[in-house]
Amino acid sequence: MLGALASQILQVAVALALAPLLVGWVDQCRAWLSNRRAPSILLPYRTIHKLFVKDAVVADNASPLFRLAPYVVFGAMACAAAIVPSLGTALPFGTAADTIALVGLFALARVFIALAAMDIGTAFGTLGARREMFIGFLAEPALLMVLFTASLISGSTSLPTIVDTLAHGPLGIYPSLAFAGVAFTMVSLAENARVPIDNPATHLELTMIHEAMLLEYSARHLALLEWASALKLFNYSCIGLALFVPFGVASGANALAILGAAPVLIAKLAVGGALLALIETLSAKLRIFRAPEFLATAFLLAVLAMLVKLLLGA
Partner 1 sequence: MDLTPLGLVAAPLAAGVPGQRAQASSGQLLTACRLAWENDGRLVAMWGTDERYRQRGFGLRVVVEDREGLTLLEHTLPDDRARYPDVTPIFPAANRMQRATFDLLGIAAEADDTRPWLWAESHATREFPLRRDYTVSEPQASRQDEYEFVRVDGEGVHEIAVGPVHAGIIEPGHFRFQVVGEKVLRLEERLGYTHKGVEKRFASCSIDEGEKLAGRICGDSTVAYAWAYAQAVESAAGVLPPVRARWLRALCLERERLANHLGDLGAIGNDAGFAFGLAQFSRLREDVLRANATAFGHRLLMDVVVPGGVAQDLAFEHVHAMHDEAGRIARQVRRIREIYDEHAGVQDRFRGAGRASPELARTMGLVGLAGRASGEAHDLRCEYPCSPYDLLDVRMAVQSAGDVWARVAVRFDEALESARLLGIITTALLDPATMSPVQCALPSRTSANVAIGYVEGWRGPVMMALELDDDWTIRRCRPQDPSWCNWPVIEHAVIGNIVADFPLINKSFNLAYSGQDL
Contact positions toward partner 1, by CB under 8 A?
A: 30, 33-36, 123-124, 127, 195-196, 199, 201-208, 211, 215, 280-290
CB closer to partner 1 out of 115 and 279: 279
CB closer to partner 1 out of 202 and 218: 202
Distance CA 214, CA 226 (A): 9
CB closer to partner 1 out of 120 and 239: 120
- Nearest distance in Å: CB 44, partner 1: 18
- Nearest distance in Å: CB 112, partner 1: 22
CB closer to partner 1 out of 27 and 191: 27
- Nearest distance in Å: CB 214, partner 1: 11
Distance CA 47, CA 24 (A): 11
Q: Is the dihedral of CA 172, 15, 269, 308 positive or negative?
A: positive
- Nearest distance in Å: CB 48, partner 1: 20
Q: At residue 250, what are phi and psi to the nearest 5 degrees?
A: -70, 140
For residue 83, how far is the Cα from the chain centroid? 13
What DSSP string runs through 112-176? HHHHHHHHS--HHHHHHHHHHHHHHHHHHHHHHHHHHHHHHHHT-S-HHHHHIIIIISS----HH
For residue 164, how far is the Cα from the chain centroid? 21
Task: Of 4, 86, 1, give the one whose Cα is nearest residue 253.
Answer: 4
CB closer to partner 1 out of 206 and 256: 206
What DSSP string runs through 58-113? --TT--HHHHHHHHHHHHHHHHHHHHS-SSBS--GGGGT--HHHHHHHHHHHHHHH
- Nearest distance in Å: CB 241, partner 1: 26
CB closer to partner 1 out of 127 and 243: 127
- Cα angle 205-185-126, degrees, rounded to a multiple of 5: 25
User: Is residue 234 within 8 Å of 22, Cβ to Cβ?
Assistant: yes
CB closer to partner 1 out of 98 and 280: 280
- Nearest distance in Å: CB 28, partner 1: 14
User: How many CB atoms lie under 10 A from the CB of residue 63?
Assistant: 12
- Nearest distance in Å: CB 99, partner 1: 31
- Nearest distance in Å: CB 132, partner 1: 13
CB closer to partner 1 out of 156 and 218: 218
Neighbour-count burial of 166, counting CB atoms closer than 10 A to its CB (0-12 exposed, 13-18 middle, 19+ buried): buried
User: How many CB atoms lie under 10 A from the CB of residue 136?
Assistant: 18
